[in-house]
Structure 1
């Protein structure tokens, strides 16, 4: 867009436009920053809450497994005292199942895997040999063990917690085990499986193979988890992250690992539900900030009017610079702040400088650019002024001897340098009141106001001598000089032009008589 579009737009409108844009941008930035901060805060708090909740459930599950193993270890010592007493075995199995309700069923098997006692004996397993994964793992390990979830002989998804039985001579007698049903009512099901809330939050539990053990959707139990949750196998045993669940819904997940089993407990809450309060919060922010923004814009408009008024008056005065009384009009403009005051003073100074500049341009038009001396136009102005004042003055006309030889020998650049050298000699050997002029080429004129013949001749001789003695850019050079006078009392029959011509004639005679000399004009 061309800048000419704004040439007719006032400063007041520009300030108001800038203020409105700044206010809107600031409001938008504040609104967006508040939204981002609150959003991150809600997400962070939810992730932390889910992590803490998952860690608590994992810790409770770990405590349960440790207590269950302690109970089985104690029973193993009791059973080892009389392992052949079937009644004693059944009674201990019943005690384990009924005393704490930690297990759905309890069994005692010998070293060959034959069931010696069960509680309850619903499936009449006494005397049968166990072939399930959990029983075989216990027989093989012969150490306290928590099995991987597996399907039992009764087609139940269970976990078997077992403790080996050794007699006093450390002979392996068998094991006592308690089973926990994962799909039916059990203490683990109560602890881990009942956490479904109205806001969409829920938990799920997977084993070390990521097979689903607990889930709000029963159809998912037993399946392998396929979402994008990444649980580290090393390092921290709990954490949190954002993920997408099995139906593609964005969730905020906190997770923790049960050390005894390697199970993963994951607590989730939908991201959309977490961010719902943000809508009302942002509306409150907008409701509170919008009136203040409108008030700010109004104040800026009033201030813009005050700021622009002096500048508008100064701009209007700038279009009338040729008026006679413009300085008075500008001086009356009220300027209540620094920039307007400075601008007003600058305009007043500028008017004066403009007049001075015009005078300077006139001076430059009357000055020789190479030497800085007056040219013919400047000389004529001075002569007219002195003629009006009836001022007497002497004239010295001088010329550089053999200047053409200098140009031919050293070149025109050196010739220009020689001319500047002569001009400097004239400045050095003249008075402040004297008028120095380059009349053309290598010719110069010196006007000496109120100067007699003797003084003029001495000045001319001094100029000749100093020039001959000093080395110029072209070596030692000489000058020839002619001197004449003009007296105001001879104004009637002897003009200034005639006095100038007499000085030229005297200069011509000096050249004819051998150069490097001063010649007085006849009658001087």
Structure 2
């Protein structure tokens, strides 16, 4: 009874499967790459837009502050000639307050800190000594000044701009100043409030103390901002953009720019989620445009796979009927339109031969130390398995180069490698063809001596020790070796114990002064 062959996929299905899988992987890769590119572009555009917007607002605020200082400077020049005239003081303070909407209040204070005039007059502060932080700073500085935000006695959060008043002879008379009340309608609201707050985006302004001077949420005005790399950068005078997580834990794309005149920082930011919201529909559009092309490509690949696989499929079918008499004729009629199909048998035989050769070489390389050409630990283990399987007694020489670290430290590792190669050559020259030479690692070597008793192995070890001691070495000095000898008698004795005894004998040789041979049967370690 003929046993049917096991079911296996044919070449056509395999080729088609590989092609389809490759096409799907390429499509997925392209789709993913497109997604990453589009995502990167959206984020870059948002970051650049926010940076440009923050820079524009910073320029506007800087321009306002500069203009406000110029107004105060002009008033200071006017007041320098009429500081003792109350009508001049009242007129100039009202002009400053009414002419522009730069300030919520204007005041003129003399050099003793007494308020001489205010606008609006309803403040009723004339004649009082100024107690405000901004006023005290202005008296002390005697230069144009923009104060840090502070709470006024009335509980208002204020930024105070001031300019000193001097006579033409340089005598200090006092200062003229304007207050911006941050929690009321003010010029910052006018400059910054034109921002269209779409998709959760917003702007805010901080001063050098990290206090919020402007924020779309009025309740947060005057509060302190916590750790934030963006704010750290902008308060150091930096301008740029970056990703940050805000105090609510929302990932934001922020642009920032400084206001150098006041030491403030302006940040414009937009939620990452809002920025990437259009990406889904964009990628669906890409997928819709790509799918038809991908389907046509798959159909073309299917046809190509069919024509490629057909000659091999027919050859495989005839190979199952090689015992039939017309098989040769039928094979001759198969149209092998490409070289691989026509040369299949020969190519397979050559391929198998080459594969076996390479596997043999790889197997040999896996058991050989590349520096010395001796067998490595894997080769040692294989040799031990072979000897024990045959119950063939053998002796073990465990040897180590004395003070090898000194060679490496003095002459370098390159010379050390040459010394190791020289020692490997000496081992070969003093060994029998049946001996097994191994490098156990570093400067340690193992020699297996089949069918050799321990006393004979000790003689071989001594001869080898003398040979090495008198050999010329590449670094110009001589080297010595210490050796430990043990014997495996066969039977049930553990190989690990015999190897351990050889190591103990080697250790004993090192401890006794090096450059000698110690037999395991002689040591009490």
Taking structure 1 as the reference length, the TM-score comes to 0.63
1:240 and 2:241 aligned: yes
Partner of 1:50: 50
Q: Deviations over 1:341-395 (max 9, x none)?
A: 3338879x9xxxxxxxxxxxxxxxxxxxxxxxxxxxxxxxxxxxxxxxxxxxxxx
For residue 340 of structure 2, what is the aligned residue in structure 1? 339
Once the two structures are superposed, the pairs formed by residues 262-341 of structure 1 within 5 Å of their partners are 262-341=263-342
Query: What is the match of residue 124 of structure 2?
Result: 124
Matches within 5 A, 1:443-482: none
CA distance in 2, matches of 1:90, 1:116: 8
Match of 2:473 in 1: none
Cα separation, partners in 2 of 1:253 and 1:180, compared to 1, 3 Å: same
- Give RMSD over aligned pairs: 2.3
Measured after TM superposition, the shift of residue 196 of structure 1 is 5.0
**1:251 equivalenced with 2:252 (yes/no):** yes
Paired residues of 1:201 and 1:268 also in contact (CA < 8 A): yes
Q: Which moved more, 1:113-122 or 1:239-248?
A: 239-248
Q: Does 1:89 align with 2:83?
A: no
Give unmatched runs, 5+ long, in structure 2: 351-525
Instruction: Report whether the alignment pairs 1:210 with 2:196.
Output: no
Query: Is residue 227–residue 246 contact of structure 1 (8 Å, CA) maintained in 2?
Result: no
Contact 2:207 2:264 in 1 (8 A): yes
Cα distance change, pair 173–266 in 1 and its aligned pair in 2 (3 A): same
Q: Is the 8 A contact 1:213 1:222 kept in 2?
A: yes
- Residue 151 of structure 2 is matched in structure 1 by 151
- The aligned counterpart of 1:175 is 175
Cα deviation, residue 146, structure 1: 0.6
Mean Cα deviation higher: 146-155 or 227-236: 227-236
- Quote the residue 1:195 is aligned against: 195
Is the 8 Å Cα contact of residues 196 and 216 (structure 1) preserved in structure 2? no
Question: What CA distance in whole angstroms lies between the structure 1 residues aligned with 2:173 and 2:133?
Answer: 19
Secondary structure of 1:281's match?
helix
User: Partners in 2 of 1:133 and 1:346 — Cα distance?
Assistant: 95
Give the Cα–Cα distance (whole angstroms) in 2 for the partners of residues 182 and 36 of structure 1. Answer: 43
Q: Which residue of 2 aligns with 1:491?
A: none
Shift of 1:98: 1.2
- CA–CA separation in structure 1 for the residues paired with 2:236 and 2:228: 19
Please tell me whether Structure 1 or Structure 2 has the larger radius of gyration of its CA atoms.
1
Which residue number corresponds to residue 451 of structure 2? none
> Aligned equivalents of 2:38 and 2:341: distance in 1?
46
Deviation of residue 136 (structure 1)?
0.2
Aligned residues between the structures: 345
Q: How far apart in 2 are the matches of 1:346 and 1:22?
A: 26
Which residue pairs with 2:20 in the alignment?
Answer: 20
- Whether the 8 Å CA contact 1:192–1:205 is kept in 2: the answer is no
Q: For residues 6 and 102 of structure 2, what CA distance do their matches in structure 1 show?
A: 84
Q: CA deviation at 1:235?
A: 6.8
CA gap 1:32/1:268 in 2 versus in 1, 3 angstroms: same
Residue 318 of structure 1 deviates from its aligned partner by 2.7
Structure 2 length normalisation: TM-score? 0.62
Query: 2:20 and 2:6 mapped to 1: Cα distance?
Result: 17
**Could you report, residue by residue, the CA deviation over 1:15-64 in whole angstroms, capped at 9, with x for unpaired residues?**
01101111111111111111111111101110110011011101100011
| CA–CA distance in structure 1, aligned partners of residues 295 and 6 of structure 2 | 25
Deviation at residue 319 of structure 1 after TM alignment: 3.3
Whole-Å Cα distance in 2 between the matches of residues 291 and 312 of structure 1?
Answer: 31
SS, match of residue 180 in structure 1: strand
Distance in 2 between the 1:65 and 1:325 partners?
Answer: 103
Decide whether the 8 Å contact of 1:330 with 1:344 is kept in 2: no
- The 1:175–1:236 alpha-carbon spacing in structure 2 relative to 1, beyond 3 Å, is closer
- Which whole-Å CA distance do the structure 1 matches of 2:119 and 2:96 have between them? 9
Distance 1:236 1:6, change over 3 A: farther
| Cα distance in 1 for residues equivalent to 2:106 and 2:291 | 70
Task: Give the match's secondary structure for 2:165.
Answer: strand
Q: Give me the whole-angstrom Cα distance separating, in 1, the residues matched to 2:320 and 2:269.
A: 74
Aligned to 2:99: 99
Structure 1 segments unaligned to the other structure (5+ residues) = 350-524
Deviation at 1:277, TM superposition (A): 0.5
Q: Which residue of 2 aligns with 1:67?
A: 67
Whether the 8 Å CA contact 1:146–1:261 is kept in 2: the answer is yes
Counterpart contact for 1:212–1:223, Cα < 8 Å? yes
How far, CA to CA, are the matches of 2:199 and 2:347 in structure 1?
71
8 Å contact kept, 1:314–1:344: no
Paired residue for 1:139?
139
Deviation at 1:171, TM superposition (A): 1.1
In the aligned structure 2, how far is the partner of 1:275 from the partner of 1:261?
35
Q: Distance in 2 between matches of 1:90 and 1:78?
A: 12
Q: Secondary structure at the match of 2:342?
A: helix
